[in-house]
Amino acid sequence: MTRIGITQRCVDDDRTGERRWALDSRWWAFLTACGVVAVPLPNDAAAAVHATHELNLDGFLFTGGGDLGGDQPERDLTERTLLALAMEQDLPVLGVCRGMELIADAFGGWLRPVAGHVGTRHRITSAEGERVVNSYHDLAVDGLPAALVPTAWCGDVVEAVRHRDARVEGIMWHPEREPAPDPRDVLLVHRLFERVRR
């Protein structure tokens, strides 16, 4: 079975003063439907790389939550390090929402504020047609780097990308937040992670 590393958001607990790492529990139902085993990775770049090698992980999922360049610098560094490792070793990467923003930024793109995309549902268009997805982002990819190709849009907002040469993709919606796994999202995960080392 495919094993991937999944990154976590940083959460500060005011009561204890602890800096915690967290994942939406809905990820497990979605990834189980995809036939993927997810291994939560620490927001410590060296430890995450060590775990990747020791556990022979097959790729990475960069989750959403929080702004890029905000109050999660250790997460930014960890995901950038894992993306570089994935490029070196031809490992697949899926970036979700903030994860897609990080991918775009890492390849030389930039972001801009966008209105009307937080806590809503909207229609996107792709080569597969139209569908309605959830939306929780207040930033959009503005300058798309040459390495990335847009694959879905909501008006003039890029909602999905893929790398021209590597197995790296990003989507701005949250597949784990749907009431049931959408077959199109499950297919995306299957397609991206199907060529693994096992």
Is 74 tagged catalytic?
Answer: no
How far is the C-alpha of 20 from the C-alpha of 9, rounded, in Å?
8
DSSP state of 63: -
Active-site residue flag, 176: yes
Which residue among the candidates 79, 101, 169, 176 is catalytic per the annotation?
176
Q: Which residue has the tokens 């919606």?
A: 173
Phi, psi of 81 (to 5 degrees): -65, -45
Residue 187 backbone phi and psi in degrees, to 5: -65, -40
Has 97 been annotated as catalytic?
Answer: yes
Q: Which of 117, 137, 163, 174 is catalytic?
A: 174
C-beta of residue 161 within 8 angstroms of C-beta of residue 148? yes
Alpha carbons 147 and 22: distance in angstroms, whole number: 31
Contact by Cβ (8 Å): 76, 40 = no
Active-site position among 10, 97, 117, 169: 97
Strand partners, 37: 3
Give the bridge partners for 153, in sequence order. 125, 158
- Catalytic positions: 97, 174, 176
